[in-house]
Structure 1
């Protein structure tokens, strides 16, 4: 239930910024990795390649990313974050931080730390 509530709030607040979770995933991944192929972005974000094409098209139309042939392999495209994309990512980071503060408001700082440690333990465990 907590995950559902959190997901709903994130979706609502991103929509107010004319963004979606997939937009954030692509922008954040490019900021972390630098220019990447569509295949690399798909693998890193978990967005299906066919869906990713539409996301990249949307971000390109908003001038938040560029898509150009890879000089090392002209058969693939490299996606790169633009200055507008970096600004949007900073804005979305602020929005998500505010949602985190809202969702975790009932927890003390110590409880937040404990929850984070427990969730990290779960994520770091080998998948069955």
Structure 2
């Protein structure tokens, strides 16, 4: 396969273009790594969020991750079918489902975090450790300007 020619210079000078290209490359690396573990990126993101925030109401989980409620139902169905999460009526409001991670889900997440970390390491391989720290701090500021700095 021939190498892809570079984009026009004007595009390569746009932060939005560069961020998009970097994001596409990063998603590809992580998606491939997760696929080797039998996971998709959204499944990994949901599992990770539930470990950190759970038990959490299904609707709140969707809001936190900015996932459409219909899509969240499908993701959770997949994770539940694989025995990685469980749904139960939320003790605080029995009209809602609370999502928790199972023991198998925690094991799967540890494996996925490991392969995702390696993929992200590959993405940032051209940067020194100090540059990585600075790059991530700058990305956090761009991604969520209202969030407090780390």
Q: Judge same fold: TM > 0.5, yes or no.
A: yes
Picking from 85, 102, 121, the partner of 1:82 is 102
- Does 1:4 find its partner at 2:36? no
**Aligned residue-pair number:** 127
Q: Cα distance, 1:110 vs. partner?
A: 2.0
Q: Cα distance, 1:33 vs. partner?
A: 1.1
- In the alignment, structure 1 segments of 5+ residues that lack a partner are none
* Rounded Cα–Cα distance in structure 1 between residues aligned with 2:92 and 2:132: 45
Q: TM-score, normalised by structure 2?
A: 0.79
Q: Output aligned runs, 1:107-118, within 5 Å.
A: 107-118=127-138
- 2:58 matched to which residue of 1? 38
Q: Cα distance, 1:34 vs. partner?
A: 1.7
- 1:13 matched to which residue of 2? 33
- 1:48 matched to which residue of 2? 68
2:90 touches 2:97 (CA, 8 Å); kept in 1?
Answer: yes
Deviation string 1:78-105 (CA, Å, 9 cap, x unpaired) is 1111101111111111011100111111
Partner of 1:115, secondary structure, is: helix
- 2:44 matched to which residue of 1? 24
Higher alpha-carbon Rg: 2
Partner of 1:18, secondary structure, is: coil
Partner of 1:96, secondary structure, is: helix
2:29 touches 2:120 (CA, 8 Å); kept in 1?
Answer: no
Moved over 4 A (4+): none
Q: Cα distance, 1:121 vs. partner?
A: 2.3
Q: TM-score, normalised by structure 1?
A: 0.91
Q: Cα distance, 1:124 vs. partner?
A: 3.9
> Which segment is superposed worse, 64-73 or 77-86?
64-73
- In the alignment, structure 2 segments of 5+ residues that lack a partner are 1-20
- 2:125 matched to which residue of 1? 105
